[in-house]
Amino acid sequence: MSTIGHNTKDQLKSIIERVERLTEEKKTISDDIRDVYAEAKGNGFDVKALRTIVRMRKQDANERAEQEALVETYMQALGMLADTPLGQSALDRAARSKVRLSESMKDSSDMAQDMARAGLISQESADETSRLAAGVAEKLGDGAR
């Protein structure tokens, strides 16, 4: 078995102690978050909904819009969005999200082509971006290119 030099031993000890300290801080933060959710529940808020909102706010706006549009599309396909004002509103929002996302994909495609013409990226990269954008638009049923 090899021996560890004094400096290496000190460095190893320092690393271990830092990890232990950070682990304790992580536990403290997790406990604090749990306490905030408990407080919210005590004030009548639905903790599951709050956790969903926190998770959604971490997402990129386009990613979130795509996810919401997809969920609403699935709900519509399963007949879960009945002919109610709320259901119709959700359908309208899903349609608007699809259009916005499709427009965003077209903008991405156009920007990639502009960047290729300016020599900032290769034409192959621009073409791949355009193909991906067209695929997303087609998947949404809008077909915008």
pLDDT of residue 97: 80
pLDDT of residue 145: 40
Domain that holds residue 103: 61-145
Residue pLDDT, tens place only, 62-111: 888 888 888 888 887 887 776 667 777 777 777 788 788 878 888 888 98
Residue 45 sits in the same domain as residue 79: no
Q: How many CB atoms lie within 10 A of CB 56?
A: 12
Average pLDDT over residues 108-122: 90
For residue 31, pLDDT beyond 90: yes
Which DSSP letter does residue 3 get? P
Q: Is the pTM of this model over 0.85?
A: no
Residue 65 sits in the same domain as residue 113: yes
With helix as H, strand as E and coil as C, how does 45-102 read? CCHHHHHHHHHHHHCCHHHHHHHHHHHHHHHHHCCCCCCCHHHHHHHHHHHHHHHHHH
For residue 141, pLDDT beyond 70: no
pLDDT of residue 144: 43
Residue 65 sits in the same domain as residue 38: no
For residue 6, pLDDT beyond 70: yes
How many C-alpha atoms does 75 have within 13 Å on its Cβ side? 16
Residue 90 sits in the same domain as residue 142: yes
Residue 137 sits in the same domain as residue 76: yes
